[in-house]
Amino acid sequence: MSGLIPLTSRELKKWYRNPVFFIVGLMQPFFWVALFGSAFDLTKLSVPGFSAGDIILQGAPNYITFILGGVLTITSLFTAMFSGTNIIWDRRMGTLGRFLASPIRRSSIVFSKIISATIRILVQVVILIFAALLIPNGLEFQNGFTLFDAFVIVTAVVLVAFSFSSIFSIIAVRMTRMETIFGIVNLVNLPLMFASYTLFPPHLMANWLSTIAQYNPVSWSAVAIRTVIINGSLTASQMNTVLTDLGGLAILALGLIILTYFVTERGIRE
């Protein structure tokens, strides 16, 4: 797309040239793992005749190992949701009008923000994994870690990023008030997080909530990542679960990317 690369570069420069925004954005994922992950130790729950890690944490040696897939997904979700605010900011500053008057595709304006948000998310993912490895009683790859495992993690967070960046970019295309999109983000982010398998296994949730979580794309990403982190080499059944979850995310992301293209080519205005 015409103008996509320079516009993406512009968005990334705005990110790493702002020291406060850059540092805060990198520290938030660490707090998720170090504080929230350490605040709950579900392995201390007593279940007669069973290992708490097996029955509660699905084989994970500790809660941080269990929760990491969910935290990576939540990080991707939250960062992606706020990508649309840059469109509103460019409109208020007059930058968007100059972009629309230049010989570039209108969809490049939006996709540059989606891609830059995805790159920021991948940086946060790397920091999260290393932070989880370093903190006491933290991440353990007890069954090894393969290139396929890394592929699943990257693919899942990228698909979540593209899906929700696309949704909120479509919303932001016609908005002029930053407060409106902040309100929408705050309205939907907590339901998406808690009505999913990001923080707790299905059997610890209310039946009705667990049923809803099965259809939540946030759950698909968290479960896929969690499966490879805990198990390493996968059985045929586990592989089928992971590929099904990634397939669902891919279909969702592709559909939203196509929708974003047509909406922005025809509908984005100053």
| Residue 40: Cβ-neighbour burial (10 angstroms; 0-12, 13-18, 19+) | middle
| Residue 49: per-residue pLDDT | 47
Q: Going residue by residue through the chain (270 aa), what tens digit of pLDDT does each one get?
A: 567 888 888 888 888 877 677 677 777 777 777 777 776 666 555 544 445 555 567 778 888 888 899 989 998 998 888 887 888 887 777 777 777 777 788 888 889 889 998 998 998 898 889 888 888 888 888 888 889 999 999 999 999 999 999 998 888 887 777 778 788 888 888 889 889 998 888 887 889 998 999 999 999 999 999 999 998 888 888 899 999 999 999 999 999 999 998 888 776 666
pTM confidence score: 0.88
Q: Report the C-alpha gap between 115 and 123 in whole angstroms.
A: 13
CB 77 within 8 A of CB 232: no
Q: C-alpha dihedral over 91, 92, 94, 98, to 10 degrees?
A: 0
What's the pLDDT at 269?
A: 62
Give the model's pLDDT for residue 54: 54
Give the span between the Cα atoms of 222 and 193, in whole angstroms: 10
For residue 94, the model assigns a pLDDT of 76
Q: What DSSP letter does each residue of 9-34 carry, written as one string?
A: HHHHHHHHT-HHHHHHHHHHHHHIII
Residue 157: what residue type? V
Angstrom CA distances, 265 to 111, 152, 164, 166, stand at 11, 32, 19, 14
Q: Do 57 and 43 contact (CB within 8 A), yes or no? A: yes
For residue 79, the tally of other CB atoms under 10 A from its CB is 22
Structure token pair of residue 179: 């407060």
Give domain limits for the chain: 4-267
